[in-house]
A = this chain, B = another copy of it.
Amino acid sequence: MSDGRVVTLGETMGLLAATTVGHLPHVPYMALGIGGAESNVAVALARLGTPVTWLGRVGADSVGDRVVRELTAEGIDVRAVRDAGAPTGLMLKERLPGGAVKVWYYRAGAAGSRLAPADVDVPLVAGARLLHVTGITPALGESAAAAVSYAVDVARSHGVTVSVDVNHRSALWPPERAAPALRDLVARADLVFAGDDEAALVTGGEPTGRTPEELAASLTALGPATAVIKLGAEGALALVDGVAHRRAAVPVQVLDPVGAGDAFVGAYLSELVAGADARRCLDTAALAGALLCTVPGDWEGMPTRAVLDGWTEGRDVVR
């Protein structure tokens, strides 16, 4: 019987983030940490009290030690295969003039891309409350794609809810290769998260001109009962069993927007598996995503339940 556990799998990398704004040639120091879409979601779930397992591959190296150490520290059940044949991937975060964030990947051939179906712990997935995967992992290579596909099969055959965040990364694969693969993945999900451009990519047709409601409907037409469209500063929309729920964004001073989508998804899923309705799922997701942006780091600023509650009670300086 399930303990309400969420299982997720994917690649987590070392993350080197510039400590000052500007081109890397002028940055003296990089902050060392870790990051990965699925483990970011796992952190969000753990912070909100949902039992969660992260499954992935890291190298037999010090960066891999750091990945395992940080996720373990969050109270996540870490199932990291140590791969002596490939290094743990890296990403560099550069903050360009004007504020845009540029990410440089060192993940080709890295341990994370060697995730394989045999790494999927079948009883673990079969006994979960929900399996969460993203569209990043299938882009890492055939082995990783097969692992995701196998995990989804296991989940579906055991009646485990399947959640997919489209997360199209154009640096990993071009739209023309990504679109059919992502569409197949979405079709096998119960719940799908997507940005509006991603929804358009997956469902085909015109890239612009459709409303969030239309995009969500196109996604559910592929199979999922629920589609959630993330609209950034415009908030979000959830189409659940044919009913649309709209929610505005929470206005905050954005310091680092990377990871906001993962915080949103993690918070949504935490409420979902706790039995909340769509309204509450969206409210918590919007607040978590907003607060995440006020702290540097892809996941470090994910609020705990106490911070979320404190926010609604008022946000004055406490002394």
Q: A16-B30, A70-B73, A104-B87 are in contact. Are A319 and B23 (CB under 8 A)?
A: no
A15 to B99, alpha carbons, bound, how many Å?
24
Any B CB within 8 A of the CB of A1: no
Residues of A in contact, count (CB < 8 Å):
70
For residues 59 through 93 of chain A, which have their beta carbon under 8 Å from a beta carbon of chain B? 61-63, 65-66, 69-70, 72-75, 87, 90, 92
A316 to B252, alpha carbons, bound, how many Å?
17
Complex contacts, A63 vs chain B, CB 8 Å:
24, 92, 104
- Are B101 and A23 within 8 A (Cβ)? no
Any B CB within 8 A of the CB of A20: yes
Contact of A317 among B65, B100, B105, B303 (CB under 8 A): B100
Q: Identify the stretch in A174-182, A211-219, A288-296 within 8 Å (CB) of chain B at 4 or more residues.
A: A288-296
A98 to B292, alpha carbons, bound, how many Å?
8
**Of all chain B residues, which has the CB nearest A22?**
B295
Any B CB within 8 A of the CB of A311: yes
Q: Identify the stretch in A222-230, A253-261, A267-275 within 8 Å (CB) of chain B at 4 or more residues.
A: A253-261
Any B CB within 8 A of the CB of A159: no
Any B CB within 8 A of the CB of A11: no
**Of all chain B residues, which has the CB nearest A62?**
B24
Any B CB within 8 A of the CB of A210: no
A106 to B61, alpha carbons, bound, how many Å?
12
Shortest Cβ gap from A104 to chain B (Å) = 6
Q: A70-B73, A73-B73, A100-B317 are in contact. Are A19 and B29 (CB under 8 A)?
A: yes
In the A-B complex, the 3 residue pairs with the closest CB atoms: A73-B73, A24-B62, A97-B291
